[in-house]
């Protein structure tokens, strides 16, 4: 015998933490964040003999003629249990309609198709869950590609179970290892921002969103994330002290010139020495590299102290660390700082014994056009194609009027 009801925050969170479909989107912390973002939130569940076996963070917002309801990252339920899912959905319909809801959108944290890191399908798609939801009246929004909002349909992730720091490093592609070594040469340092420093993070993401033409969150959002998620939200930045950087390059250049001076003297005495001639060519090439780096760094010599060059926001959850938002200043791209940020956070994830590192959204296009995918692939991992979004019309009459009004308003606004 199933029983649908409102459940309390503690009950929901304990269930969410242990659920195989767990996601930060279905947590009390996210519920509190959504409240700050003008959503109304409640936690609902289904019990059998007093035991909670399905639950959801159910959010709703006022729209014309009623309310729009949403379950982002859920329902948290066993989708192979047809009777349970059917009961949960019918109970939601009744509850939402009773509370003047017009329609419900859900985005289950369900993998539709497992894929390798190049996007090649592994096994068969999860059609059972898709067919079940469709049979219950849900309309699927489509198997689209491209970047899509806060809960992407395509993600790139990396399993860290059984890894230590050494095996983590060895799992990267050589391109990532090279880039991380370069950041160490450049003196890139990584640290966590305080609440008071969040405007610096907002400046960074605003710069990146303008360059890449995507919608950025406002400062109030980042502040709310920091307040509600606490230590589970990590605003990480990479910094360079350019005075130190230039000093270190000049020191290396000086040592190299001293080595070359010795080699030149040796070659005067023995001009046909193959070993010394090879060393001469090698060190002269290295010297040219240092001279170019000094020339490139000249534009930054007036910058004082530690300068933020890149940053990212991560959310920590018992089952995964999620790489949510990031930014890089154009003029500092040559310093490879995002590689150091990812490496540092993966090292942290391994140390915390968290099983999955979720790089989050990719476009779902594997034709070489997705630079974000290429960056994430350099750390190796796998692709998950999620099942996507479903809409359920709860009040057909009001929904028809609502969509008609939306169309009229849209036309009036041009």
- Which CATH number belongs to the domain containing residue 254 in this structure? 1.20.58
- Mark whether 66 and 193 lie in a shared domain: no
> Which CA distances in Å does 395 have to 68, 325, 358?
11, 36, 37
**Is residue 201 within 8 Å of 222, Cβ to Cβ?**
yes
CATH number at residue 205: 3.40.630.30
Count of domains forming the chain:
3
| Averaged pLDDT for residues 331-348 | 96
Higher pLDDT, 213 or 220: 220
pLDDT in tens, 11-44: 999 999 999 999 999 999 999 999 999 999 999 9
Specify the pLDDT at position 366: 87
Please give the Cα distance from 63 to 402 (Å, whole number): 9
Q: Burial code of 281-314, b = ≥16 C-beta within 10 A, e = fewer?
A: eebeeebeebeebbeebeebeeeeebbbbbbbbb
Does the structure show a pLDDT above 60 at 412?
no
Does the structure show a pLDDT above 70 at 335?
yes
Specify the pLDDT at position 269: 77
- Mark whether 292 and 187 lie in a shared domain: no
Using alpha carbons, select from 158, 162, 152 the residue that is nearest to residue 346. Answer: 158
DSSP at 155:
E
Residue 122, in any domain of the structure: no
**Is residue 385 within 8 Å of 362, Cβ to Cβ?**
no
pLDDT in tens, 82-129: 999 999 999 999 999 999 999 999 999 999 999 998 999 999 999 999
- Sheet arrangement for strand 51-63: 2-6, 40-48, 51-63, 66-72, 101-107, 390-393, 139-140
Question: Of 76-85, 367-376, 402-411, which one has max mean pLDDT?
Answer: 76-85
Residue 7, in any domain of the structure: yes
- Mark whether 175 and 228 lie in a shared domain: yes
- Mark whether 316 and 207 lie in a shared domain: yes
**Is residue 271 within 8 Å of 298, Cβ to Cβ?**
no
Is-above-0.85 flag for pTM? yes
Residue 121, in any domain of the structure: no
The strand pairing partners of 361, in sequence order, are 155
Using alpha carbons, select from 368, 386, 388 the residue that is nearest to residue 118. Answer: 368
Residue 134, in any domain of the structure: no
pLDDT in tens, 126-159: 999 999 999 999 999 998 877 666 689 999 999 9
Last residue of a domain, one of 280, 300, 320: 300
| Averaged pLDDT for residues 304-323 | 94
**Is residue 229 within 8 Å of 315, Cβ to Cβ?**
yes
Does the structure show a pLDDT above 80 at 400?
yes
Specify the pLDDT at position 410: 62
The strand pairing partners of 59, in sequence order, are 41, 70
Residue ranges making up the domain that contains 84: 2-108+388-412
Residue 126, in any domain of the structure: no
- Mark whether 221 and 358 lie in a shared domain: yes
Phi then psi for residue 35, to 5 deg, are -60, -40
Specify the pLDDT at position 265: 85
Specify the pLDDT at position 252: 82
| Averaged pLDDT for residues 250-272 | 82
Specify the pLDDT at position 411: 59
Q: Is 327 exposed, middle or buried (0-12, 13-18, 19+ CB in 10 A)?
A: buried
pLDDT in tens, 46-72: 999 999 999 999 999 999 999 999 999
Two tokens, residue 411: 């036309």
Specify the pLDDT at position 148: 63
Q: Is 12 exposed, middle or buried (0-12, 13-18, 19+ CB in 10 A)?
A: buried
| Averaged pLDDT for residues 318-326 | 95
- Sheet arrangement for strand 154-159: 121-122, 111-115, 382-386, 154-159, 356-361, 320-328, 306-317, 233-241, 189-192
- Mark whether 392 and 282 lie in a shared domain: no
Cβ atoms within 10 Å of 409's Cβ, excluding its own: 10
Two tokens, residue 215: 């919608």
- Mark whether 183 and 323 lie in a shared domain: yes
Two tokens, residue 353: 């014994």
């Amino acid at each position: 015998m199933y029983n649908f009801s409102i459940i309390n925050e503690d009950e929901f969170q304990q269930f969410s933490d242990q659920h195989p479909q767990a996601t930060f989107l279905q947590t009390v912390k996210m519920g509190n964040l959504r409240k700050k973002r003008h959503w109304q939130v409640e936690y609902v569940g289904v019990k059998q003999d007093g035991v909670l076996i399905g639950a959801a963070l159910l959010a709703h917002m006022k729209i014309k003629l009623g309310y729009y309801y949403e379950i982002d990252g859920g329902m948290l339920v066993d989708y192979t249990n047809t009777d349970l899912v059917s009961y949960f959905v019918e109970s939601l319909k009744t509850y939402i309609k009773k509370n003047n809801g017009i329609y419900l959108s859900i985005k289950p944290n369900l993998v539709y198709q497992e894929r390798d890191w190049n996007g090649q399908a592994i096994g068969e798609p999860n059609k059972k869950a898709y067919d079940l939801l469709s049979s219950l009246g849900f309309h699927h929004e489509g198997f689209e590609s491209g970047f899509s909002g806060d809960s992407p349909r395509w993600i790139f992730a990396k399993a860290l179970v059984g890894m230590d720091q050494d095996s983590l490093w060895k799992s990267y592609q050589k391109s990532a290892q090279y880039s991380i070594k370069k950041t160490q040469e450049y003196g890139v340092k990584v640290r966590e921002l305080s609440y008071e420093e969040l405007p610096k993070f907002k400046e960074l993401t605003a710069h990146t969103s303008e360059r890449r033409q995507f919608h950025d969150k406002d400062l109030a959002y980042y502040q709310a994330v920091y307040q509600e998620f606490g230590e589970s939200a990590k605003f990480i930045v990479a910094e360079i002290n350019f005075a130190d950087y230039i000093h270190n390059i000049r020191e290396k250049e000086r040592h190299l010139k001293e080595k070359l001076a010795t080699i030149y003297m040796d070659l005067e005495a023995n001009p046909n020495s193959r070993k010394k001639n090879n060393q001469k060519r090698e060190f002269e090439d290295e010297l040219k590299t240092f001279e170019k780096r000094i020339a490139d760094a000249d534009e930054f010599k007036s910058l004082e102290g530690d300068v933020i060059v890149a940053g990212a926001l991560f959310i920590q959850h018992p089952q995964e660390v999620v790489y949510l938002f990031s930014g890089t200043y154009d003029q500092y791209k040559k310093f490879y700082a995002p590689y150091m940020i990812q490496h540092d956070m993966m090292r942290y994830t391994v140390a915390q014994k968290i099983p999955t590192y979720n790089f989050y959204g990719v476009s779902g296009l594997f034709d070489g056009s997705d630079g974000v995918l290429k960056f994430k692939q350099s750390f190796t991992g796998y692709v998950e194609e999620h099942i996507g979004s479903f809409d359920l019309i709860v009040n057909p009459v009001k929904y028809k009027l609502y969509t008609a009004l939306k169309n009229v308003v849209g036309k009036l606004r041009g």
